[in-house]
Structure 1
Amino acid sequence: MKRYILYSLLFGFQILNITGIVAQTTTLITGKVVDVNERPIEFATVLVADSETQKPLSGTTTLEDGSFELETKASNFYIEVSFIGFETKTFGQPVTKGETITLGTITLSEDAEKLQEVVVRGEISRTEFKLDKRVFNVGKDLSTTGASALDVLNNVPSVNVDIEGQISLRGSRGVQILINGKPSVIASEEGNTLGTITADMIDRIEVITNPSAKYDAEGTSGIINIVIKKDQRKGLNGSVSVNTGAPDSHSIGISLNRRSEKFNLFSQLGYGIRELPDDRINRNVDLVNNTTVLSTGTEYRNETYYNFVLGTDYYIDENNVLTLSGNFAMELEDQPSTTSFTSLDASDNVVSEWQRTEVTEAENPKLQFELQYKKDFNGDEDHTLVFSSLGNFFGKDQSSDFINTTLSGTDNDAEQKTRTDFKESVFTFKLDYTRPFSEKWKIETGAQYVLNDVKNDYEVSDFENGSFVVDPGLTNIFDFDQNVLGVYGTGSYEGSKWGIKAGLRLEQTNLNTLLENTDQANEQNYTNLFPSVHSSYKFTDKISVQAGYSKRVYRPRMWDLNPFFNIRNNFSIRQGNPDLQPEFTDSYEITSIYILGKASINFGAYYRYTTDVIERVSFFANNVNTVRPENIGENKVTGIEFNAKYAPFKWMTLNADFNYSEFKREGIFESTVFDFDGDQWSSKVMAKLKLPADFELETTGNYNSRVRTVQGVRSDNLFMDLGLRKNILKGKAVLNLSVRDLFASRINEDEIVQNDFEVYSRRQRGRFIALGFSYGFGKGEAMQYSGQRRRF
C-alpha cells in the first residue's frame, strides 16, 4: 500500500511542478465574441496563426457567454476570429508585447453570401449520439492543423492514444479499427499506417461500444470507425521515422500518401529488431506427497522484422470507388532462454538442481490483402452498396532444441527437440447495402462469409541411446477448419431528439478439427440468432442517453482447441481442449454523455449474462501443472463504467477511466462445484501537458484490483507509463521519448490453492524505454512509425 501512495504522490508533484512552469511562459489572449445585437456567439473559432507562413499555431472556441481564453508561445503571430455565416475578423500582434492581450468585445457581422451557402462542415469538432454509436464530427479546429488520425482520435471522448500509438476505448485495448466501416490494411496494427491519414482527410469518427446486428457477433472491447472524406487533400503526405530503445528495440520506417484526382496511393516500408524479455517464477507444491518444484528464468523472444504496405483508392467517378491494398511482413525469431529448476522434499531439502536451456529459431511470414468496391446511389452518401474481401495468411516454421543439465542431486540430464510447421489462412467476404427512405427512416442489410483454415504440424523428439526418437504422445498434426456465414438486417428511426434501431443477425458456424495421428475428430455445426436493440434520447445538445442490448459469442480459437503445446517449461504447461464449446453473452448497457464546457463525461451501467463460460483450469500430477480451457457453467456480471475527459487549460488535458463490476459464478466440472461471488475494479488516469518550447508530456497511471478466479486469486497491480514529445522544425519533425512501466511495478501474480496442490506463478516484462524521431515532408506532418506493435 505504501508504494501505491508513493507513486500517487510522485505523480501529483510532477503535475504541480509542470503546471507552475507552463503558467509562467505563455501569453494569454482573452476576449468576448458577440453579434450586432450584442448576443454572445457560442462555438466561434479563435485561431492564432504564424504571420509569415499563415499556418495555424493554436486555437480555441468560445463558451456559452461568447468569452474565450487562448494561450500561445509564438513571437510573430496574428489572431483570427470566425463563425459560420459571419464575416471573419483579423487582429495583428500588438506592437507592445505583454503577458496578456485583451481584445475586449469583438462584434461579428452577418455575411449575406455565406448565409446562403449550404454548410456541410462545422467550425468546431463535436460529439453526438447516433442510436448505436457516438459520432465525433471533425471540425475546422482540428482539420486545419495538419495532425494525423492518431491525434484526432486523442480528441474523441473515451478514446485514448498513448505516445506509442496504442489505442484504447474506455480504458480497454483490443479495439477493432475500421476504415469506412470495413477492416483495412491501413487500420492493421501490423503495418501501423494510420499515421498516413491526416486530420483534413477525416469526416468523422464513430465509436461503438455495444455493436448492433450489423457487425460480427464475435465480442471485442468496441469498434472505432474512421470515415474518410471524398474530397481528401491532394498532393504528397509522407514521413520517415527512426526509433531506438532498451531492451533492444530499433526500427526505421517510411510512410507515403499521394492523392490525385483519380487515385489515392499509400505505402509504407519498415525494418526493425526487437528484444522481448519475460521474467518468470513458478512454484508447484504437491500437498499429498509434500514435494515442491521451483523454476525461475528469463524467457526471450528476439525478432527481426520487415514490413511493406502498398495500396490505392481508385475513384472511378464521384459515385464509385475501388480500393486495393496489400501488406507483407516477415518475422525472424530467436528465443535463447534459460530456466533454473530446484526439486525439494517434504522437509524443504534440495533433492536436485538443474538448468533447462532453449535455442529456438523461427520464420514467420505474414500476408494481408484487401479489395473493396463502394457505390453511392445518385450521389447519396447514405444510400450505398459496399463489397469487400480481406485475406490474411500467417505461417511459422520453427525448430527448438532443449537441453537439461544437472547441477546437483538426482540426475535430470536430457535432450529434446521440437519442430513446428504452422499455416493459417483467413478470408472474409462482406456485402453491405444501406437504404434511407427518408431523413428519419433507414434499413441496412448484408451478408458475411469467413473461412478460417489452419494446419499445425508439431513434433517432439527425445534423445535416447545416441539418437533422437519421436515421442508419439506429444506429436500430432492438428487441422482446424471453421466457416461462419452471417446475414443481417436492421431498421432504424432517428428523429431530432429520439431514435431507435433494431436488428437481427443469423450466423451459421461449421467447425471441424482433426488430430491426424490419432484420428480424433470434433465436428460442431450450430446456427444462432443474434438480436440487437438500441435507442438514444437527446435532452439537450450537451446531455444524451443511449441504451442497448445485443447478443455476443466467443468462438474458441485454434490455440484454445489444439492440445499440443510448447514444452519450454515442462513443469508449467498450457494446452488446448479440442472439445471446447463456444460461450454466449447477453449484453445490456445504458450510457449517458454530458458535455460540460471543457469537459466530457460518460457514465454507464451494464449487465452481462454468459453461458458455457470458458475458464482456464489447472490439472496437477507429479508436480506438473497443466492448464487447459474448459466450459464451466455461467457468469452474471453487473458493473458501472465512468470515463471523463477534461481540458481545464489549452495546455492540459486530463482523462480518467474507472470500471467496477460484481460477478456471480455458478458451475460444476468433474464433480467439483465452482460457485462463488466476487468483484473487481480497474482505473486509469492520464495527464497530457503542453510545455514550453513545444514539449508535450504524457503520464498514465493504471491500477487493476485483486480478483478471485475459479481456483485461486490474481493479485492487483499498479504501474505508470511516461511519454515526452518535442516538436521541432516548425512542427515538421517530432522527437518522442516513452517509458513503459516507469517504476517496474507491472507484476502479474496468480495463486491457485486446492486441497491436493498449490501453484504460484509470477511474470514481469520490466521497464521499456523508447526514443523516436519522425520527419514529415511534402504536405505531410510528422507521422509516427514505431514498427509492429509489441505483443504483451
Structure 2
Amino acid sequence: MHLKFTSTFYVLLFVLMITELGLAQDGEIEITGTVVEKGGGQPIAFATVLVGDKATQKGITGTTTLDDGSFSLKTEARNFFVEVSFIGFEKKRFDDLVPANGKIALGKVELGQDAQQLSEVVVAGEVSRTQFKLDKRVFNVGKDISSTGASALEVLNNVPSVNVNIEGQISLRGSQGVQVLINGKPSILTGEGGNALGTITSDMIERVEVITNPSAKYDAEGTSGIINIVIKKEEREGLNGSISLNTGSPDNHSFGLSLNRRTERFNLFSQLGAGYRELPSDVENVNRDLTDGTSISSVGEEFRNEEFYNVILGTDYYINENNVLTLSGNFAYEIEDQPSNTNFKAWDANDELVSEWERTETTEATNPKYQYELQYKSDFKDHEDHDLLFSALGNFFGKDQSSDFEDLTVFGEDRDGVQRTRTEFKEAEYTFKLDYTRPFNEEWTMETGGQYVMNDVSNDYEVEDFVLGEYQSNPDLTNVFEYDQKVMAFYGTAAYEGNKWGIKAGVRAEQTHLNTLLKNTDEKNGQKYTNLFPSAHTSYKFTDQVSMQAGYSRRVYRPDLWDLNPFFNIRNNFNIRKGNPSLQPEFTDSYEITSIYVLGKASLNFSVYHRYTTEVIESIYTFDDDVKISSPENIGTNKATGVEFNGKYSPVKWFTATTDLNYNRFVRDGSLGEQVFDFTADRWSGKLMAKIKMPADIDFEATGNYQSGYETIQGRTSENLFLDLGARKKILKGKGVVNIGVRDAFASRVNETETIQEDFSSYSRRQRGRFITFGFSYGFGKGEAMEYSGRRR
C-alpha cells in the first residue's frame, strides 16, 4: 500500500515537472517599447503596434500606444514579427526577435514622417465631391477651393441643385421654402432674423447634405426639401487640430482654430472663430405710377459691415463601449454697422425733375446667439445599427438695433426730415427629439421616434419722427409683435435592403399650434392643425454601373415671424415689405426618379421630378402714393415638372469636369380678390466646374454659374451669369494649404427684377461685385494630414 502510494506520488511529480517545463517554453511573451518621432523625439500617442504571423503575414494581436508613446502587449506566438505604424509616418518592422526571460524590450522606436503617404491621403480625400445615397446627396465642402474664406451662404451656392441670390435667399431646384438644418437639427444660426449663416465659414463645414425628398424621419418643414449643414467635429485619437487664416478684398478677414483631444473615455472638441467682413451693394430702384405718369428713382450704396465671433465647446463622454453622452454649446456674437447713402429723385408726368434729396442711414446692431445641446446615444450589442438617440436642444437669438435716418433736400420740393428706429428682438427655440432604430436582420430595419419644438418670439419695433425739435413716436409704425408656435411630431418607417433592391416607407404626424399677437393693438391670430406626411423611397441596382432610385414625400412650409409680422424696415421708405398675420401654410407633394450611371471615368445622374403645391405663398406688390409695398399672400396652386442632370468626368488624372443642369416648367393657378394670377413659365440653371492639377502641386478650379431669367407672378427676374475661380497649393509636407479665391470674377452677378401691373411698374437692381480672398490652413495632430479621418472608436 505504501509502495503504491509512493509510486503514484512520483508519477504525479514527474507530470508536474514536464508541465512546468512546457509552460516555461511555450508561455506568453511580453513586448514593450516607446514610439517617438524621429529627430524631435516627441512621443507618438495612439500609434499601432501589430504582432503578425510570419507564415500568413496576418495579424495575431495588437495595441495602441499611450499618451507618452509607451506600449505593452503579450503573445503566445513563436514565429512572429512586430510592426509599428502611424498615419503620416513610415512603418517600422522587427523580425527575428529573441525573448529573454519571456520579455522583448524594443526600447525607443523612432518613426520618420512619410511625405508621400501624407500626399496620398490628401488626394484620396479629394476623389469625390458628391455622393448619392437613397434619400440624399452629400456634398463634400472641404475640397471646394473657390469657397476659401467664404460664408456658409457662399458655400451653398456651389452645391448642386442649390442657388443663393444676392439677398441670401436659398432655393432648391428653383423653389424656395427650404429648411436649413445644422447637424440635423433646426438652429437660430439659419434664421432670417440676423445674418443668416453669417458666423459659419467654409473652414467649419465638413459637408452639406441635400435632401430633395426627405423620409418621414425628418422634420416635414420645407416644401422644396432640406439642406443639412454638418459642422466638423474631430474624433481622431490624441490631440488634433487645425488653424486657418483668411483675408480678402473688400475687407474679409477671419481666423479659425479647431482643437480636439480624444482619450479612451472623453472626446473634447472646440472651435473658435473671429472675423470682420464688409458686404457693399450698389442698389437702384425706380417706381412709376402709370396712372398719373409720375415716378420716384433712387440710386445708392449700402453696406453691411460685420464683426463676428463664434465659439463651439463640447465633449463626448463614453460611458462604456455602447453608451455616449454629448454636451455641447455654441456662442456667436455679431456687431453690425450698416451705413448707406441714397440719392432720390422725383419726376413729374413730363419726366421733369421735381425734387432731389439725399437719404443717409446709420445703423448699429448687436446680435448675441446661444445654442446648447445634450445628447445621449445608446448602441445595442446585438447589431451595430441598433441604437437609441435622445437630444435636447436650446437656441436663443437676440437683436438690439438702432437706426438714424436723415433726408436733406438737394433740389426743388422740401424733403428734409429726420427719423430713427429701435428694434428689440428676442427668440427662444427648444427642440426635444427621440429616435429609435431597430434592425431585425441584415435586410429589415424599423425606425420610430418623436419630436417636440417650441418657438417663442418677441419683436419690439418703434419708429420716431423728429418734430418741433424732439422725437415723437409714430403709432402707425410702432408695435410689439409676439409669435408662439409649438409643433409635436411622431413618425415611423420600415425599410428593406437586399443585394439589388431596397425600399423604405413611412409616415409622420405633426400637430401645429400657432398664436400671434400685436400687443399694442391687441390683434390676435391663432391656428391649429394636424397633418400626415407620408414618404416612400426605393432603389434597384441593375449592375455595379447602373442603378435607379425613386422617392415621394409630402412637405409643409409654415409662415415664420417675418412672414407674419405686419411691420417693416424704413431703410428705403418707397420700397417696403411687411408681413401678413393671416397667412396660411403651404403644402407640397414631391415625386422624383433618379438614374445613376458609372461609366469608367465618368459618372452621370439624371433625375425627373414633379412638385404640386397648394396655398402657394407669394410676395404680392401693391402701390400707394409712389410707395411699392410687398406683402406675402396665399395664391392658389403651382405645378412644377423638371429634369436635372449631374455629371462628372475625369479623362486624365490631372483634369476633372463636373456639371449640374436643372430645368423646370411650372403652371400657376391662382387669384387674389378680383385679380387672376394664372400663367405658365419655365426656368433653368447650370453650373460647370473644371478642376486642373498643375505642376508644383497646385490645383486650379473654375466654376461657371448660369441662372436663366424667369417670369414671376407679377413681373420678371433677369438672368445671371458669373464665374468663380480658385487655386490651392499644399505646403509643409501636405499639412498646410494656401488658397486664393475670386468670386464673381467679372462682376457680372446682378439681381434685377421688374414688376409690371396695370396701374404701376417698378424696377430694382442690386449688385455686390467682385470678391477676392486669400487663405491659409494648417492641420496638426501627431503628423496626421488634416483631411484624414483616422481610426475611430
CA distance 1:555–1:186, shift in 2 (3 Å) = closer
Distance 2:205 2:780 in 1: 14
Distance 1:672 1:594 in 2: 47
Q: What does residue 154 of structure 1 align with?
A: 129
Q: What does residue 640 of structure 1 align with?
A: 643
Deviations 1:753-784 (A, max 9, x none): 11110100001111111111112222476769
Q: What does residue 462 of structure 1 align with?
A: 465
Question: Is contact 1:319-1:379 (8 Å) kept?
Answer: no
Amino acid at match of 1:172: V
Corresponding residue SS for 2:704: strand
Distance 1:722 1:343 in 2: 42
Amino acid at match of 2:269: F
- Whichever of the two has the greater Rg, that structure is 2
Q: What does residue 306 of structure 1 align with?
A: 309
Amino acid at match of 1:765: R
Corresponding residue SS for 1:496: coil
Question: Is contact 1:148-1:783 (8 Å) kept?
Answer: no
Q: What does residue 431 of structure 1 align with?
A: 434
Question: Which residue, out of 479, 482, 492, partners 1:479?
Answer: 482
Moved more, 273-282 or 166-175: 166-175
Question: Is contact 2:211-2:225 (8 Å) kept?
Answer: no
CA distance 1:343–1:592, shift in 2 (3 Å) = same
Distance 1:433 1:725 in 2: 43
- What RMSD, in angstroms, separates the aligned Cα atoms of the two structures? 3.0
Corresponding residue SS for 2:426: strand
Q: What does residue 97 of structure 2 align with?
A: none
Give the drift of 1:150: 8.8
Corresponding residue SS for 1:473: helix
Q: What does residue 170 of structure 1 align with?
A: 160
Q: What does residue 268 of structure 1 align with?
A: 271
Question: Is contact 2:780-2:786 (8 Å) kept?
Answer: no
- Asked if residue 741 in structure 1 is aligned to residue 781 in structure 2, the reply is no
Distance 2:357 2:161 in 1: 43
CA distance 1:539–1:686, shift in 2 (3 Å) = same
Q: What does residue 670 of structure 2 align with?
A: 667
- Asked if residue 576 in structure 1 is aligned to residue 588 in structure 2, the reply is no
Equivalent runs, 1:498-647 vs 2, <5 Å? 498-647=501-650
Give the drift of 1:335: 0.9
Question: Which residue, out of 423, 448, 453, partners 2:451?
Answer: 448
Question: Is contact 1:660-1:680 (8 Å) kept?
Answer: yes
Deviations 1:515-562 (A, max 9, x none): 001111110100000011111111012211111111000111111111
Corresponding residue SS for 2:499: coil
Amino acid at match of 2:310: N
Amino acid at match of 1:507: E
CA distance 1:179–1:557, shift in 2 (3 Å) = closer
Question: Which residue, out of 359, 375, 380, partners 1:372?
Answer: 375
Amino acid at match of 1:453: D
CA distance 1:228–1:625, shift in 2 (3 Å) = closer
Q: What does residue 654 of structure 1 align with?
A: 657
Give the drift of 1:160: 5.9
- Asked if residue 408 in structure 1 is aligned to residue 422 in structure 2, the reply is no
Distance 2:784 2:529 in 1: 50
Corresponding residue SS for 2:381: helix
Corresponding residue SS for 2:131: coil
Amino acid at match of 1:480: Y
Q: What does residue 710 of structure 1 align with?
A: 713
Distance 1:348 1:191 in 2: 46
When normalised by structure 1's length, the TM-score is 0.77
Distance 1:671 1:548 in 2: 38
Give the drift of 1:584: 0.2
Distance 2:527 2:380 in 1: 41
Give the drift of 1:186: 12
Distance 2:766 2:229 in 1: 35
Q: What does residue 417 of structure 1 align with?
A: 420
- Asked if residue 248 in structure 1 is aligned to residue 251 in structure 2, the reply is yes
Corresponding residue SS for 1:587: strand
Distance 2:128 2:578 in 1: 38
Q: What does residue 319 of structure 1 align with?
A: 322
Amino acid at match of 1:464: V
Q: Structure 2: which 5+ runs fail to align? A: 1-37, 40-55, 59-78, 80-115, 149-154, 164-169, 171-177, 191-195, 788-793
Question: Which residue, out of 669, 690, 694, partners 2:693?
Answer: 690
Corresponding residue SS for 2:161: coil
Distance 2:438 2:118 in 1: 29
Question: Is contact 2:383-2:439 (8 Å) kept?
Answer: no
Deviations 1:84-103 (A, max 9, x none): xx989xxxxxxxxxxxxxxx
CA distance 1:191–1:371, shift in 2 (3 Å) = farther
Give the drift of 1:209: 3.1
Deviations 1:114-160 (A, max 9, x none): xxxxxxxxxxxxxxxxxxxxxxxxxxx99995559995872536636
Distance 2:659 2:778 in 1: 31
CA distance 1:419–1:769, shift in 2 (3 Å) = same
- Asked if residue 765 in structure 1 is aligned to residue 768 in structure 2, the reply is yes
Corresponding residue SS for 2:213: coil
Question: Is contact 2:424-2:460 (8 Å) kept?
Answer: yes
Corresponding residue SS for 2:738: strand
CA distance 1:479–1:146, shift in 2 (3 Å) = farther
CA distance 1:379–1:325, shift in 2 (3 Å) = farther
Q: What does residue 10 of structure 1 align with?
A: none
Amino acid at match of 1:430: K
Corresponding residue SS for 2:476: coil
Equivalent runs, 1:41-440 vs 2, <5 Å? 147=122, 154=129, 156=131, 159=139, 161=141, 162-163=144-145, 164=147, 166-167=155-156, 169-172=159-162, 192=200, 208-219=211-222, 221-223=225-227, 232-378=235-381, 380-440=383-443
Give the drift of 1:178: 7.4
Give the drift of 1:440: 1.4
Amino acid at match of 1:218: E
Distance 1:176 1:665 in 2: 23
Question: Is contact 1:587-1:606 (8 Å) kept?
Answer: yes
CA distance 1:150–1:664, shift in 2 (3 Å) = farther
Q: What does residue 74 of structure 1 align with?
A: none
Distance 2:487 2:753 in 1: 35
Q: Structure 1: which 5+ runs fail to align? A: 1-51, 54-85, 89-112, 114-140, 785-792
Corresponding residue SS for 2:746: coil
Deviations 1:584-618 (A, max 9, x none): 00001011111112222110101100000000111
Amino acid at match of 2:160: R
Corresponding residue SS for 2:359: strand
Distance 1:578 1:272 in 2: 37
Question: Is contact 2:635-2:671 (8 Å) kept?
Answer: yes
Give the drift of 1:497: 1.2
Amino acid at match of 2:436: Y
Distance 1:608 1:142 in 2: 48
Distance 1:298 1:184 in 2: 31
Give the drift of 1:248: 0.8
Corresponding residue SS for 2:385: coil
Question: Is contact 1:610-1:634 (8 Å) kept?
Answer: yes
Amino acid at match of 2:501: W
Question: Is contact 1:733-1:781 (8 Å) kept?
Answer: no
Question: Is contact 2:538-2:549 (8 Å) kept?
Answer: yes
Question: Is contact 1:147-1:781 (8 Å) kept?
Answer: no
Distance 2:229 2:274 in 1: 28
